[in-house]
Amino acid sequence: MIQRIRVSSLIGIHVLILAHIYYFGDSVIGSVDFQEFFHAFIKYGIINAGVVMVMIAFISTLIFGRFFCGWACHFGALQEFSWWVLKKMNIVPKTINSSLVTILPLFILLNFYVAPNLIHSIKMPWEKLVINFGMPEIWAFLPGFMIGLLTFIVDGFLIVYFLGRKGFCRFLCPWGAFLKLPSSLAMFKVRKVGTCIECGVCTDNCPIGIDVTYEINNHEKVTNTNCTSCMVCTDGCPSQAIAYKWKNPFRENFQFKHYGLNLKMFKLSAISDKFQSVHKKDYLLLPLILFCGFCIDGLYGMGHFLSFGIATIIAIQVIDPNKKINFLLKYLLIAIIIWHGIIKFSIWRGLDHYDSQRHGPAISHLNRVVMMYPKPIGRFHMILSEMYLHEGNFIKAEKHALIASKINPEHEGPKQFLNKLYYKIDNQ
């Protein structure tokens, strides 16, 4: 019964969002994305609908745990839908369990959301606190159709297939990392209320991959901050040994060791067979994910979720002895990642040299970019044109300006530059 209510909640939330968009558009409530808390409030001091939503999620987590993740999150709903579809296709992959990789969501949160917006607010302090629930528009941060579709497929079906049920929540979600602290202090938790027969059904049913049997027998409650308060474990307990219960937080047996990394999980053979541990290779896994992620992040218009979703899948497959993809394909993927890493590095160094007016090294790096990058980017050709013109190389300046014009025929920049170039050639 509880799970029917939860599924109805996940569906109902999205129906309400669509209904609001249909009837009111952006005129009443703007974007309710989690990143609004960092982009709007921390960066600019703007309180909008997204900021209010994050505050509500944070406060509710202090009471109910990560209830938002299990009952209202669109990415959570996507993963559960993907899992359901794969299960209908008789595809039930093992859930990957790792310790060090739990750091990854926190890293994504701090590196891409907290740090840059906090640095901006320090350099350019708020003039005043502003309240505007209508900004930005609802679709302000949505990618284009193709990137959106790829994100849907990668962070839904592929993450679930390669990493297990709720793989995105465990491995990638920065908003989950944001809610870990209040979740650890939550009043409501899954608690031991009866005699556990250690059948392992709760652990087997847990969508997030928590060893519920171990936790309730060692800590009298689920201490793992990945718990999303979905109550799947309590619904399936045959001895009714666990329940979602309130307890005065001042009477909790709080110990930091409860929230540490447990390397000895899933001791019951009936359970452990359904999970795949990569604990022994964690020291390789995290740096490999970060390397792959940084190599492709931002290229082709990919956002952080898509980039690091692809990176996590590749890294898991490279270190995984149980080959879901063959040897040749693994290292072909690594070669592609390194190729794009060179492109990413060259873009960074080329633009840095360009901004510093060091045209020689900037030209070298950006020429490498336009040669290696499969996607033609008019901006890089225009920068090369500008630098070649400054260096007095009219032929190459014209060449790259013409390429930029072909890439973006409607853009006036290349046309104006060519007119400037031809005028200068005529005068000389």
Helix (H, G, I), strand (E, B) or coil at 208: coil
156 with 193, same domain? Answer: no
Two tokens, residue 420 = 């400037």
Question: Which residues of the chain register pLDDT less than 70?
Answer: 26-27, 253-272, 321-325, 428
Identify the CATH number of the domain in which residue 214 sits. Answer: 3.30.70.20
Q: Which of 154, 178, 202 is the last residue of a domain?
A: 178
Do 270 and 300 reside in the same domain of the chain?
A: no
Estimate to the nearest angstrom the gap between the alpha carbon of 262 and the chain centroid: 24
As a whole number of angstroms, the distance between CA 17 and CA 128 comes to 30
Residue 26: inside a domain, yes or no? yes
Residue 260 included in any domain:
no
The DSSP result for 103-116, as a single string, is HHHHHHIIIIIIHH
160 and 187 assigned to the same domain: no
Residue 238 phi, psi (nearest 5): -70, -25
Q: How far apart are CA 166 and CA 31, in angstroms?
A: 25
Q: How many domains does the chain have?
A: 3
Boundary of a domain, candidates 153, 178, 203: 178
Which among 257, 277, 168, 170 is positioned nearest to 215, based on CA atoms? 257
Task: Tell me the one-letter amino acid at 218.
Answer: N
The reply to whether 226 and 362 lie within a common domain is: no
Q: Does some domain include residue 120?
A: yes
Give yes or no: residues 195 and 151 share one domain.
no
Q: How much is the pTM?
A: 0.88
Does residue 171 lie in a domain region? yes
Tell me: do 124 and 170 sit in the same domain.
Answer: yes
Residues 301 and 379 in one domain: yes
- pLDDT of 3 reads 87
pLDDT at 265: 53
* Euclidean distance between CA atoms 281 and 276, whole angstroms: 12
User: Using one digit for the tens of pLDDT, what is the confidence trace for 143-158?
Assistant: 788 898 999 999 999 9
Same domain, 78 and 220: no
State the pLDDT at residue 263: 52
Where does a domain end: 178, 201, 230? 178
- Structure confidence at residue 236 (pLDDT): 83
- How far apart (Å, rounded) are the C-alpha atoms in residues 9 and 297? 33
Same domain, 323 and 418: yes
Determine the pLDDT at residue 325: 64
Q: Does 341 share its domain with 381?
A: yes
The residues near 79 (Cβ < 8 Å, ≥ 6 apart) are 155, 156, 159, 160, 165, 166, 167, 168, 169
- Residue 257 within a domain: no
User: Looking at residue 392, what is its pLDDT?
Assistant: 87
Query: Which tens digit of pLDDT belongs to each residue from 52-103?
Result: 999 999 999 999 999 999 999 988 899 999 999 999 999 888 888 887 777 8
Handedness of CA 231, 232, 233, 236 (dihedral sign): positive
> Range of 67's domain?
2-178
Task: Note whether 14 and 58 are same-domain residues.
Answer: yes
Tokens at residue 278, please?
Answer: 């990569």
422 part of a folded domain: yes
Q: Give every CB contact of residue 242 below 8 A, 6+ residues apart in sequence.
A: 190, 191, 192, 193, 194, 196, 202, 212, 216, 233, 234
> Which pLDDT value is given to residue 419?
83
Q: Are residues 296 and 390 in the same domain?
A: yes
- At 317 the pLDDT is 84
Report yes or no on 188 lying in a domain.
Answer: yes
Q: Has residue 258 been placed in a domain?
A: no
Q: How far apart are CA 383 and CA 363, in angstroms?
A: 9
Find the distance separating the first CA and the last CA of the chain, reported in whole Å.
83
Per DSSP, the three-state class of 242 is strand
